Structure 1
Amino acid sequence: MTVRTPLPHRRAFSLAWPAILGNITVPLVGLVDTAMLGHFSNATHLGAVALGSTVLSAVMWLVSFLRTGTTSLVGRALGSGRDDAAVTHAQRAALLAVAIGGGALLLQWIAVPALMSVLAPAGDVRDLAIQYAWIRMASVPAALVTLVISGWFVGAGDTRRPLVIVATVNVVNLVLDVAFVGGLGWNSAGAAAATVIAEWLGLAVAVTLWWRAARPATRAAVRRWRGRGLRTGWRRLAAMNTDLFLRTATLYAVLTFVTAYGARLGPDILAANAILMQLMLLASYGQDGYAHAAESMVAREVGRRDVPAFRRAVAASALPAVAIGGVFTIAYLLASGPFLAVLTSLPEVTAAAQEHIGWVVWLPLASSAAYLFDGVFLGAGRTREMLVTMLAAALLVFVPALLAGLAWVDDGRNHDLWRAFLLFNVARGVFMGIAYVRISRAGRWLDRAHA
């Protein structure tokens, strides 16, 4: 008689719940900015923050490999008992974060106006968006190094300390937003300044938490900055990060198109889409909780070369991931009105958001498979498949669906946009599911166990 090993549901849940809470607080930076400006300012400042946040999000999304790549490499190294290699991976990522952050500060004076000229026509919205982005750029170096530290924690199977970090950032941002926007009337500039202060304080908290949690041997390894292990291995890191960068760039190109297209449809549609995008991001970060759990467990089991445990980790994360998507869909279905009322009291913006919110209602459930497989493939280091499936979803589904809607469906251009975005997220899950089956049949999940 064969005794089945139980699925690691408790382990998955212990990793997922702090990640869910922490991830949900991440878009609160945008939600708080949106809510404060939606009540204490006007559609011009609200649209400016939407466009300015697009630029900042571009930087953070495009370098999100600093977190995901660190988690995958550190998790697999720790899983195989190579603690020094894990430290070296994190050191390389930290050096890269500092370099990218410094480069962003130098290039912002040219890059930000150039990007804004593409995203919006000349006028008050564009000018205020440039000002907002320039202020927010001061937070980038702190945010990037914090990504690396959070990546270490998740790779080490610790999602509670990242929760403390993001909670600190968002509580401080909330308090300062109320003071700067609601109290002092600094509008979009005040929202940007609040975020800058919060991000640097978050980095201080992250460094403190890491140092206190690290073992003496780990601290000693960190001090060896000039060791041979740090001077080598950059090619492997570059290959993995290039896949993740291009994959994220593709995703962000789709999201940026949604914002830019809305800007061409008028300030009310732009502001409404900004609110709908915040609701979508809120759900996506919540769904990423079990993706982070899968990522952490998969990285460890791949490092240990334990295929049965790898499969149990995926199974333990799958059903809850879909269930969380369903919960968000039901919540938005039943309470979309109150959600919109919290975010804005502008009548024209509210009306435009209510007209199109149906697409956002179904996005969490439709996207659940994509978020789960993101965690699985990241943990296993299968970044090339992530890139290929993202490109396929964008080029073979999003673009054709948008063009078909514009040509043949007579329900408004913004409806065409959101329909194509919904189908894009469904396609991501389907394509990665096909890749998962193919790799499983070939028995190749351990190919990158010691990367």
Structure 2
Amino acid sequence: MTPAPLPHRRAFSLAWPAIVGNVTVPLVGLVDTAMLGHFSTATHIGAVALGSTVLSALMWLVGFLRTGTTSLVGRARGAGRDDAALTHAQRAALLAVALGAGALVLQWIAIPALMSVLAPAGDVRELAIQYAWIRMTSVPAALLTLVISGWFVGSGDTRRPLAIVATVNVVNLGLDVAFVGGLGWNSAGAAWATVIAEWLGLALALVLWWRAAPSSLRAGARRWRGRGLRSGWRRLMAMNTDLVIRTALIYAVLMFVTAYGARLGPEILAANAILMQLMLLASYGQDGYAHAAEAMVSREIGARDVPAFHRAVAASALPAVGIGAAFSLLYLVASGPFVSVLTSLPEVTQAVDDYIGWVVWLPLVSAGAYLFDGVFLGSGRTRAMAWTMAASVIVVFVPVLLAGLAWIPDGRNHDLWRAFLLFNAARGVFLGIAYWRITRRGAWLHAAEA
């Protein structure tokens, strides 16, 4: 019997809009950095790096609003239960509103407290607090947009999320140039550009959902009472708890990298901010096939078709590794032009040159982690994601960092990036082991009820 072909075309049709949309996300950060690198000082670059770290931490922690919605909606629609899919999305929207309101209330205490940990007292800290407070006004819009994007991806539609994120980032980019390069508003200008763009993005997302949804779903969206929204929260919260733990761990590592650089001086902080932007550019590009895998496997698990599930994983795997290798090659041969676009400050450029080698290899060694993230998210195996992330931090990142600081006399920032590189490699290895174990037990459908 001839084996069924791999769904390469389907994977590509889902992946390319996600790749294009994802790559535009760090491009906004690159424009922020470039504008400040050419029209401001290392102090403002560092302030945006610190402020963005805090805001990104929040958005990553609540990223379950997108990923959890994708998984639940995809599995429900794969099982032919569109009304259940809408109920999942409505619960997520209610949660997004509650979290956005809570964030607006708590920001006045939480942001200064976090900044006191991340940076010593001085101009960088004060500017970072100002930047973060401005950015917080866009959080409710961003959270609701995550839910709508999760619905689209779970429905096998990555083109509308592309339209949303592209619009947000093009508006953000244009306002960045106007506010920072034109009006000289420095880090505050970069923050206001993002706020305006995020609210416009939510408006577009709502319009796109309404126009795409069939009349039965639009009628259900109008009706909130009698839809069972008071029940069904336990499963949603259990999945979200796993994702919060997993995301909190990875962002604790990223925040540590930023905070550690701040302690080494403003030049190292600014250099690490640029290196992080390059890392994020590659990671968002690699996430395209992770999103494709997430969308495909959620539908196949919902349909209880395990062979099709494995074919979807295989169709996403080779391109995911190829994209990682392409980014590594690009950074190997063209890191100089990238850095020159981002900053013209000689001391920052020199610091970036000293450490760029670690970022060159990050896309390739991280390919497995990004792919399996999509597989485990789509299949609802969030518990495995939490424990493998914990293992990567406890077993790899912390010991490698401490060993480097104690025994390898090549500079503390090198030790930091070495540990970060191996941490990302370990994530892929541990998730790969978990994938093999679940497959061997034939247990992929055990988390399939949506």
Sort the TM-score into its range (normalised by shorter chain).
Answer: over 0.9
Q: Between the two proteins, what is the percent identity of the paired residues?
A: 81
Tell me which amino acid in the other structure corresponds to 2:75: R
CA drift of 1:450 comes to 1.6
SS in 1 for 2:137: helix
Unaligned runs of 5+ in 1: none
TM alignment of 1:82-231, pairs within 5 A: 82-231=81-230
CA drift of 1:230 comes to 1.3
SS in 2 for 1:205: helix
Give the Cα separation in 2 of the matches to 1:230 and 1:81. 20
Tell me which amino acid in the other structure corresponds to 2:282: A
Give the Cα separation in 1 of the matches to 2:288 and 2:102. 31
Unaligned runs of 5+ in 2: none
TM alignment of 1:337-416, pairs within 5 A: 337-416=336-415
CA drift of 1:409 comes to 0.8
Q: Is the 8 A contact 2:104 2:136 kept in 1?
A: yes
Q: Deviations over 1:198-218 (max 9, x none)?
A: 000011111111100000011
Give the Cα separation in 1 of the matches to 2:448 and 2:107. 39
Q: Is the 8 A contact 2:77 2:155 kept in 1?
A: yes
Tell me which amino acid in the other structure corresponds to 2:154: G
Q: Which residue of the partner structure matches residue 332 of structure 1?
A: 331
Q: Which residue of the partner structure matches residue 63 of structure 1?
A: 62
Give the Cα separation in 1 of the matches to 2:144 and 2:23. 20
Tell me which amino acid in the other structure corresponds to 2:17: P
Q: Which residue of the partner structure matches residue 321 of structure 2?
A: 322
Q: Which runs of 4+ in 1 moved over 6 A?
A: none
CA drift of 1:325 comes to 0.2
Q: Output the TM-score relative to the length of structure 2.
A: 0.99
CA drift of 1:29 comes to 2.3
SS in 2 for 1:305: coil
SS in 2 for 1:26: helix
Q: Is the 8 A contact 2:87 2:227 kept in 1?
A: no
Q: How many residues align?
A: 450
CA drift of 1:222 comes to 1.2
Tell me which amino acid in the other structure corresponds to 1:110: I
Give the Cα separation in 2 of the matches to 1:348 and 1:98. 44
Give the Cα separation in 1 of the matches to 2:303 and 2:223. 26
Give the Cα separation in 2 of the matches to 1:299 and 1:270. 40
Give the Cα separation in 1 of the matches to 2:346 and 2:294. 43
CA drift of 1:228 comes to 4.1
CA drift of 1:229 comes to 2.0
Q: Is the 8 A contact 1:80 1:450 kept in 2?
A: no
SS in 1 for 2:447: coil
Q: Which residue of the partner structure matches residue 275 of structure 1?
A: 274
Give the Cα separation in 2 of the matches to 1:182 and 1:227. 52
Q: Which residue of the partner structure matches residue 39 of structure 1?
A: 38
CA drift of 1:381 comes to 0.1
Give the Cα separation in 1 of the matches to 2:83 and 2:447. 18
Match status 1:9 vs 2:8: yes
In angstroms, what is the RMSD of aligned CA positions? 0.6
Q: Is the 8 A contact 1:79 1:303 kept in 2?
A: yes
Q: Which residue of the partner structure matches residue 28 of structure 2?
A: 29
